[in-house]
Structure 1
Amino acid sequence: MKKLICLAAVMLFFSFASYAYAGSIGDEPGTPGKWFKGEEPVQKDESKPPLVFVHGINSSSSTWFDRNDMAKQAVLNGYESAFIDLYPDQDTKKNGKLLAEKLKEIYDVFGRKLIVIGHSKGGVDTQSALVYHNAHPYVEKVITLGSPHYGTPLADLAYSKGGSWLAEILGQKSDALYSLQTGLMAAFRSETDKLEKFPHKYITYSGSEWGTFGGVLYLGGMYLKSFGANDGAVTVSSTRLSYANNILTGKWDHNSIKNGTSMFPVFQHQLLANAASAEKENIESSNSTELNTDVYVKGGESEKEKTEAFYVEEGTNGLSIQWLNESHEARPEIIAPNGDVLTNLKTSEASFPYEGAFSHHVQINKPVPGKWTIRSNSGKKAPYLLLVSFDSPLNDEIKAEAAKSGDDASTHSSGLIKRLSKKVETFYFKDAQKDHPLKTTASSADQLKKEGAYSVTVHYTGLTASGTSAFNRTVIRTLYVDQDENIHGDIPY
């Protein structure tokens, strides 16, 4: 009889274990809700909390052990671990619900509280699980690595009028990317921070490197640099929470910040530390309202041949020009005002949020002022995106003048500027996949009434003080209006 009872108990245990986690590292990852126990340490120390690793957008659990030794580092340092697959393309609400269910399973298997380590959006999904789906009882602390707690302007770009054509044809538009727009994340923060009952649980790390010219994160880093230090996908300010232990900003990019050799020794001392007593880094508000006035953006769907023009003002120190399309071969040529033709653009695969595209780019020192032209022949109708970044003393002047008025179209003058005009385009998005967003007539905050997301693009044009040199800039933001008509996000006009 006793043997039968023991046998039944063993069978029940293995039945539960197979339900809780189906597989191990080396099995095919990517099934949402599936999780794996990591390799057992040689000397298991149950005084050490188990580590649960959560991946980010467009990723899977393999990000921690495929060309990454984070899983191995956990083993070598005596920690039990688990690796979970969430939906790579779903928003924080859906992933938060799924993660909360799995954190309870993992907690039941290990029998003690967990430390969750989330990379990128995985850190936001984790807070969603804790706050909205009652996973707090299973988690001792949360460590986020390059997580966009306030969203990323790159998501705003992908849903803007100019940037959406290419993102859509590449299949990059998703509920996940949609949720990372700065306006939507501002709404998330407004609600979540009020509900967060255990703010001391959060520890953040951020990176401030995005590689060199032509690198995999160059596109994102160059676009984000006017918003502040960044890791090629997320700004440093976005990775920080006002109530968290914001431990360190290091020389990592958005990919290397999850690398085991680089990061495990850095956060290891936090695994056993009292998070509530850890020393905080002094931070400023992450919700900056400053305008980024050093870029020009234009995009859409072109015919076989497409020509775009932009202006470079006198005194510009340098340009970074990027032309994104679907083709490696369809390289554009750039014609300077003096007739010089540039064809030696560097081509590389584009990164978030334009994976699958190619970026053709060049940097130019001391560019000739005047009208520049970029010309591309794709051989077919195709989407494109032009990003021009200006290193110019006019950037701060435009920012200062632009902030003086909220009119839809206005003219100003200053020491370096003779004329500055702007045009505001606002598009309403019903959901993440809407192909043709409804264009509104909204030109001020008072006209944003309907609940939902609004992509706002402000086009600045003008003349320098000499009256002979034109310039243009583009500012893009996403705003979110909640059911009470509260506007979340930075209003860029």
Structure 2
Amino acid sequence: MKKLICIIAVMLFLSSASYAYAGTIRDETGTPGKWFRGEEPIQKDLSKPPLVFVHGINSSSSTWFDRNDMAKQAVLNGYESAFIDLHPDQDMKKNGKLLAEKIKEIYNFFGRKLIVIGHSKGGIDTQAALVYYNAHPFVDKVITLGSPHYGTPLADLAYSKGGSWLAKILGQKSEALYSLQTGLMAAFRSETDQLETFPHKYITYSGSEWGTFGSILYLGGMYLKSFGTNDGAVTVSSTRLPYANNTLTGKWDHYSIKNGTNIFPVLQNQLLGKIANAKKEDETKQEPASSELNTDVYVKGGESEKDKTEVFYVEEGTKGLSIHWLNERKDPQPEIIAPNGDVLTKLKTSEASFPYEGAYSHHVQINSPVPGKWAVRSNSRKKAPYLLLVSFDSPLNQEIKMAAQKSGDASTHSSRLIKRLSKTVETIYFKNAQKDYQFKTSSSSDLQFKKEGAYSVTVNYTGLTSSGTSQFNRTVIRTLYVDQHGAIHGDIPY
């Protein structure tokens, strides 16, 4: 009998140990639900709360210690720490449930309240854990680094008619990316903010850099720039919560904001201090509203045959162009053909970033481009998805925005610089992330959003400048979400 009791005791001990402590940061990462204890400080200070680090989309716990000294910074500054693996491709509700379970385990292991630090979507997963799965009692503070609390237009792009082919073939379309569309995040915010009972726990940080031309985050930054200051993946306005301590916008990009050397000295001001005493960023610095139309880009994409040529128009007065052709091949590069017959063949090629990791971006910047019909010609040698993004530095951008916002259902509009403005609205309906879509094209704004689900809306603007000699085109993309009560979340882009 004594032997049986001993065996049971040992089994209970082993079970408790395995549930409370899964490994060290030297172990293999990437298993959802597994967490790792960081190196123990030489001088343990129990007045300092343990730090729990949560990764973002398409990532793992190794993001904090693989080519990143965040784990080391925690040790050097006397903090105990833990690093957790969540599902890299699941939405915030599924990750939130898993994270809540692990937060309780980690709390029991350390025996005191935690500070959770979440990068990117990890900050949203953390709030889901607290609000929906009762992790609040175990957490003292939540610090979010570049978290898209209101989603990102880059996720909208990936689920649009033009952008979805490439995202799908790259394997980037997932529950996680689907959930970060602006309309779905608007619905999440509407529900979550009403349920949040401890809003004072949240501290947000954001970045304002996305690198120079050709850098890894440049494409995202270029696409997002008309939405406001951004870090190459998320706008500053999206990283902020109205009830949080929105502490600082620094010269970080979406990746460097989680680097220990960069951010830990800044975090020190928050880790032990009272949130109420923290210095907030100047609230007078207003970011452009996400509802504004980003009328400075043209987007076209799909699945091409072996040879593919896409055309776009450049109006007179355009100061510069940034042309990006994305596909899954590094070679061959596409050719850019100007209206005067000049052919550009030497483009810069770099790996793409969120949400097109795994793709290659072939790009060029052109100052004072020749007005007229331009073309991008590609020979992929096989069927291949592609995405063309053209960004215009033009005085017409603001004029198109103003005209589009006033045009309503009219098919034409005139202004100081515009003689004619027309639009076509294309809509993709998603019941959920797994369902195939239904596609609808209309020249009218009178579209009905009645079924519950997500609607990817692409508005293609074409027109003629006031001189009557120069054509132009632009693309506006948004995702809307209709909830079970028929309420529309997100910004209708016309």
- TM bin, normalised by shorter chain, reads over 0.9
Unaligned runs of 5+ in 1: none
How does 1:166-177 map onto structure 2 within 5 Å?
A: 166-177=166-177
Aligned counterpart, 1:329: 331
Residue by residue over 1:263-319, the C-alpha shift from the partner in whole angstroms, topping out at 9 and shown as x without a partner, is 000111100111134333316578631000000000001110000000000000000
1:349 aligns to 2:369 (yes or no): no
Aligned counterpart, 1:220: 220
Aligned counterpart, 1:61: 61
- Which whole-Å CA distance do the structure 2 matches of 1:450 and 1:253 have between them? 38
How does 1:447-486 map onto structure 2 within 5 Å?
A: 447-486=448-487
How does 1:165-204 map onto structure 2 within 5 Å?
A: 165-204=165-204
- More displaced, 50-59 or 9-18? 9-18
Aligned counterpart, 1:144: 144
Deviation at 1:353, TM superposition (A): 0.5
1:163–1:298 contact (8 Å) kept in structure 2? yes
Deviation at 1:5, TM superposition (A): 10
Deviation at 1:434, TM superposition (A): 3.6
Counterpart AA for 1:110: F
How does 1:19-168 map onto structure 2 within 5 Å?
A: 19-168=19-168
Deviation at 1:22, TM superposition (A): 1.6
How does 1:252-291 map onto structure 2 within 5 Å?
A: 252-281=252-281, 282=283, 284=286, 288-291=290-293
1:17–1:109 contact (8 Å) kept in structure 2? no
Q: 1:445 to 1:184 in 2, by over 3 A?
A: farther
Matching residue within 361, 364, 367 for 1:365: 367
1:428–1:440 contact (8 Å) kept in structure 2? no
2:227–2:288 contact (8 Å) kept in structure 1? no
Q: 1:299 to 1:440 in 2, by over 3 A?
A: closer
- Which whole-Å CA distance do the structure 1 matches of 2:265 and 2:446 have between them? 47
2:294–2:401 contact (8 Å) kept in structure 1? yes
2:424–2:443 contact (8 Å) kept in structure 1? no
Aligned counterpart, 1:415: 416
Aligned counterpart, 1:383: 385
**Identical-pair percentage:** 83
- More displaced, 7-16 or 356-365? 7-16
Q: 1:213 to 1:106 in 2, by over 3 A?
A: same
1:201–1:275 contact (8 Å) kept in structure 2? yes
Aligned counterpart, 1:318: 320
- Which whole-Å CA distance do the structure 2 matches of 1:8 and 1:111 have between them? 25
- Which whole-Å CA distance do the structure 1 matches of 2:454 and 2:150 have between them? 15
Counterpart AA for 2:25: I
- Which whole-Å CA distance do the structure 1 matches of 2:347 and 2:441 have between them? 38
Q: 1:437 to 1:21 in 2, by over 3 A?
A: farther
Q: 1:429 to 1:397 in 2, by over 3 A?
A: same
Deviation at 1:238, TM superposition (A): 0.4
Question: TM-score by structure 2 length?
Answer: 0.96
SS of the counterpart of 1:193?
helix
Q: 1:434 to 1:165 in 2, by over 3 A?
A: farther
Deviation at 1:242, TM superposition (A): 0.8
- Which whole-Å CA distance do the structure 2 matches of 1:287 and 1:238 have between them? 10
- Which whole-Å CA distance do the structure 2 matches of 1:108 and 1:5 have between them? 25
* Aligned residue-pair number: 492
- More displaced, 134-143 or 16-25? 16-25
- More displaced, 77-86 or 409-418? 409-418
Matching residue within 290, 296, 299 for 2:298: 296
Q: 1:26 to 1:52 in 2, by over 3 A?
A: same
Deviation at 1:444, TM superposition (A): 4.4
SS of the counterpart of 1:254?
coil
Q: 1:256 to 1:138 in 2, by over 3 A?
A: same
Residue by residue over 1:21-42, the C-alpha shift from the partner in whole angstroms, topping out at 9 and shown as x without a partner, is 2210110000000001100000
Deviation at 1:226, TM superposition (A): 1.1
- Which whole-Å CA distance do the structure 2 matches of 1:276 and 1:8 have between them? 49
Residue by residue over 1:325-350, the C-alpha shift from the partner in whole angstroms, topping out at 9 and shown as x without a partner, is 11111210011011110001011111
SS of the counterpart of 1:337?
coil
- Which whole-Å CA distance do the structure 2 matches of 1:342 and 1:444 have between them? 38
Aligned counterpart, 2:395: 393
Counterpart AA for 1:44: K
SS of the counterpart of 1:447?
coil
- Which whole-Å CA distance do the structure 2 matches of 1:47 and 1:393 have between them? 57
Deviation at 1:18, TM superposition (A): 1.9
SS of the counterpart of 1:156?
helix
- Which whole-Å CA distance do the structure 1 matches of 2:447 and 2:458 have between them? 17
1:305–1:376 contact (8 Å) kept in structure 2? yes
Q: 1:315 to 1:286 in 2, by over 3 A?
A: closer
SS of the counterpart of 2:187?
helix
SS of the counterpart of 2:406?
coil
1:323–1:385 contact (8 Å) kept in structure 2? yes
Counterpart AA for 2:125: D
Aligned counterpart, 1:247: 247
Question: TM-score by structure 1 length?
Answer: 0.96
Deviation at 1:197, TM superposition (A): 0.7
- Which whole-Å CA distance do the structure 2 matches of 1:92 and 1:289 have between them? 24
1:426–1:442 contact (8 Å) kept in structure 2? no
Deviation at 1:433, TM superposition (A): 3.3
- Which whole-Å CA distance do the structure 2 matches of 1:437 and 1:163 have between them? 16
1:455–1:477 contact (8 Å) kept in structure 2? yes
- Which whole-Å CA distance do the structure 2 matches of 1:486 and 1:434 have between them? 21
- Which whole-Å CA distance do the structure 1 matches of 2:124 and 2:100 have between them? 13
- Which whole-Å CA distance do the structure 2 matches of 1:75 and 1:332 have between them? 49
- Which whole-Å CA distance do the structure 2 matches of 1:478 and 1:146 have between them? 21
Deviation at 1:218, TM superposition (A): 1.1
SS of the counterpart of 1:404?
helix
